[in-house]
């Protein structure tokens, strides 16, 4: 990795995947994957119409994450006899929020007890919902899960690099304004010097100059200077006030060379990719409100603490063996006519399962990505009180990568919980995953204090989650590449005997909740058609 990448931080998954490809010497491969996986809006077309379910037909669902819960909810509505086996003692799977008093046990046996104050939480998994994820939002509507804005782009949050501006965090507003301003200045100059005459008509040139002046905050000579126009975008040295303190003083833009060299501009576009654009949403009170909302509808149908140890099927039905993780004792069996299996491929690949060789090969072809998140509670909301940051995300080249401020309880006097580290895919995510939870928390504090010096004085308590150490997933999400997609994706989607798979790993919207739900809807729609045809 060249020194250029030292500045990279706050990268989107798209950037990360592109990096995977480049490091593998096959950037095109991975870019193809991301454009296939992430392009276009959701294909959600509303709840499926599953009419004519044969009376008394049973469907066993494995896993009570969003895929399994969606499948159960819709199949029961259609008249099927539905039951769910779930490894955890709660619904939701990766749809999960941690609150005060919660115990988190990672593989290896380390247990943390969360010490957050009442009313505060941390989403270790999914934490924001794009406006274009229509399925997630529609199920929130159906389940009466209240949504509120998740501040993603906050112009007053920071871009930070240890290699730029003496390590002093820069407001996103200033980076954004100065990049636009300087680019507009340069382009205006070229146009004014007739250097664009081959590309643009005289008429269009006048409009272009007007647009650049407007968009770039340029002065009357179309230059980007310390001016009222620039200040209206990047902010003031002295802000407009009242009475005698009224007059404002514009701020000085940073020099183009400094801005370019800083690399901080790299962080900007992350906020303009379609999944991160405003308005992003979050359930009021925690992401797990969605899983809980489904579970309330499916009251009594979910058997928790059930570890699936074998999945057998023949032409008459499916028999699943499980061990109760609380009671232990002898394995128990559940039989059903059909099965929807949403167990992550990382785990399903280890469970003896009656499936075709093609399906088995597909299940074995999906590696799971690493990710670590750290949630930190501080005694007071210093980011709001001292720095006027209300929600949003700061990005840094420090190995914590991200700080995200809570999008709720603005202005409250008590404590606040923020996301203090978010590492995914990169080498350092493995290093963090290898640490104990207290080491990860100390690491997040040490690094974060370089951006917010208040950290050490105001720290109260924290929790850290390594997704590779989560007993129920062994990773944060399934990873496809164009060659595994080509060879295995269609196979993993097929109805195999009396079983069909669903989950984010059986989608092109990997690692998003939308992928889990869309996958479930597609799977049960085809399964329903098969069942009706089989009975006819």
Partner 1 sequence: MIHVSFSRRALAIGLLALPLSLSAALAQDVKPTIGPPGLAFAPKTGADLYVTVCQGCHMPGGKGAVGAGMYPALNNNKNLEAGAYPVHVIVNGLRGMPPFRAMLNDDQVAAVVNYVRTNFGNSYSDAVTGDDVKLARSAN
Compare residues 33 and 425 and give the one whose CB is closer to partner 1. Answer: 425
Q: Give burial (CB, 10 Å; 0-12/13-18/19+) of 360.
A: middle
Give the DSSP letter string of 393-411.
EEEESSTT-EEEE-SSSTT
Q: Write out the residues near partner 1 by the rule CB under 8 A.
A: 1, 5-6, 8-9, 19-20, 23-24, 87, 107-109, 307-308, 343-347, 349-351, 364, 366-370, 397, 399, 401, 425-428, 430-435, 439, 443, 466, 468-475, 479
Our CB check for partner 1 shows the closer of 388 and 427 to be 427
78/343 with CB nearer partner 1:
343
- For partner 1, give the closer residue by CB, 297 or 354: 354
CA-based nearest residue to 5, from 207, 443, 330, 15: 15
Do 461 and 116 form a contact (C-beta atoms < 8 A)? yes
Q: Shortest distance, CB of residue 77 to partner 1, whole angstroms?
A: 28
How far apart are CB 135 and partner 1 at their closest, in Å? 26
Q: How far is the CB of 212 from partner 1 (least distance, A)?
A: 33
Query: Which DSSP category does 242 fall into?
Result: S
Among 253, 291, 93, smallest CA distance to 173 is for: 253
Q: How far is the CB of 453 from partner 1 (least distance, A)?
A: 21
CB of 84 to partner 1, least distance (A): 14
Nearest approach, Cβ of residue 445 and partner 1 (Å): 14
CB of 471 to partner 1, least distance (A): 2
CA angle at residue 282 from 122 to 84, to 5 degrees? 80
Question: Which of residues 121 and 443 has its CB atom nearest to partner 1 in the complex?
Answer: 443
C-beta of 48 vs 344, nearer to partner 1: 344
Shortest CB 55 distance to partner 1, Å: 34
- Interatomic CA distance for residues 371 and 146, integer angstroms: 28
In the bound state with partner 1, the residue whose beta carbon lies nearer, of 306 and 340, is 306
User: Smallest gap, in angstroms, from Cβ of residue 103 to partner 1?
Assistant: 15
- Phi, psi of 231, deg, nearest 5: -65, -30
Q: Choose between 8 and 387: whose C-beta lies nearer to partner 1.
A: 8
- Number of neighbours of residue 351 by Cβ within 10 angstroms: 17
Buried b (16+ CB within 10 A) or exposed e, 139-161: bbeebebebeebbbbbbbbbbbb
Closest separation between CB of residue 157 and partner 1, Å?
A: 19
Cα 183 from Cα 231, distance rounded (Å):
16
- By C-beta, is 27 or 196 nearer to partner 1? 27
Distance CA 499, CA 490 (A): 15
Kindly give, in sequence order, each residue whose CB lies less than 8 Å from that of residue 304, ignoring residues fewer than 6 positions away: 64, 86, 88, 89, 90
Nearer to partner 1, 183 or 431 (CB): 431
> Which H/E stretch holds residue 187?
helix 172-192
| All residues at 6 or more sequence positions from 523 whose CB lies less than 8 Å from its CB, including other chains | 71, 340, 493, 500, 501, 502, 506
């Amino acid at each position: 990795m060249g020194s250029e990448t030292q500045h990279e931080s706050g990268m989107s998954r798209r950037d990360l995947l592109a990096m995977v490809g480049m490091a593998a010497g096959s950037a095109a491969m991975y870019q193809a994957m991301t454009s296939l996986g992430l392009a276009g809006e959701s294909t959600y077309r509303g709840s499926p119409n599953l009419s004519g379910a044969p009376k008394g037909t049973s469907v066993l669902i494995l896993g009570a994450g969003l895929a399994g819960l969606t499948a159960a909810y819709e199949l029961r509505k259609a008249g099927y006899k539905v039951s769910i086996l779930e490894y955890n003692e709660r619904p939701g799977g990766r749809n999960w929020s941690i609150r005060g008093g919660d115990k988190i046990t990672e593989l290896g046996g380390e247990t943390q007890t969360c010490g957050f104050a009442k009313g505060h939480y941390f989403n270790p998994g999914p934490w924001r919902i794009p406006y274009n994820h229509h399925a997630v939002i529609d199920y929130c509507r159906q389940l009466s899960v209240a949504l509120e804005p998740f501040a993603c782009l906050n112009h007053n949050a920071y871009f930070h690099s240890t290699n730029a501006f003496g390590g002093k965090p820069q407001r996103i507003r200033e980076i954004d304004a100065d990049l636009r301003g300087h680019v507009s200045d340069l382009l205006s100059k070229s146009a004014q010097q007739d250097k664009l005459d081959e590309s643009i008509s005289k008429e269009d040139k006048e409009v272009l100059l007007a647009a650049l002046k407007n968009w770039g905050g340029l002065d009357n000579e179309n230059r980007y200077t310390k001016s009222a126009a620039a200040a209206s975008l990047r902010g003031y040295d002295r802000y407009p006030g009242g009475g005698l303190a009224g007059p404002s003083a514009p701020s000085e833009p940073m020099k183009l060379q400094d801005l370019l060299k800083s690399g901080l501009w790299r962080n900007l576009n992350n906020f303009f990719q379609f999944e991160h654009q405003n308005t992003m949403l979050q359930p009021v009170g925690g992401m797990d409100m969605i899983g809980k909302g489904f579970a309330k509808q499916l009251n009594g149908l979910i058997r928790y603490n059930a570890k699936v140890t074998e999945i057998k099927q023949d032409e008459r039905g499916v028999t699943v063996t499980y061990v109760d993780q609380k009671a232990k004792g002898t394995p128990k069996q559940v039989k059903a006519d059909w099965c929807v299996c949403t167990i992550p491929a990382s785990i399903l690949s280890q469970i003896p399962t009656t499936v075709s060789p093609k399906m088995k090969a597909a299940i074995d072809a999906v590696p799971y990505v690493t990710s670590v998140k750290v949630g930190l509670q501080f005694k007071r909301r210093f980011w709001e009180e001292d720095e006027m940051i209300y929600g949003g995300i700061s990005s840094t080249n420090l190995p914590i990568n991200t700080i995200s401020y809570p999008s709720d309880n603005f202005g409250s006097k008590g404590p606040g919980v923020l996301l203090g580290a978010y590492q995914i895919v990169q080498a350092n995510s493995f290093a963090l995953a290898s640490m104990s939870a207290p080491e990860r928390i100390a690491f997040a504090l040490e690094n974060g204090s370089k951006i917010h010096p208040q950290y050490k004085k105001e720290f109260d308590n924290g929790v850290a989650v390594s997704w590779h150490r989560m007993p129920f997933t062994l990773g944060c999400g399934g990873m496809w590449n164009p060659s595994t997609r080509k060879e295995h994706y269609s196979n993993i989607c097929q109805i195999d005997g009396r079983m069909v798979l669903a989950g984010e790993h059986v989608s092109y919207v990997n690692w998003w909740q939308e992928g889990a739900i869309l996958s479930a809807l597609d799977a049960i729609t085809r399964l329903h058609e098969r069942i009706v045809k089989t009975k006819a």
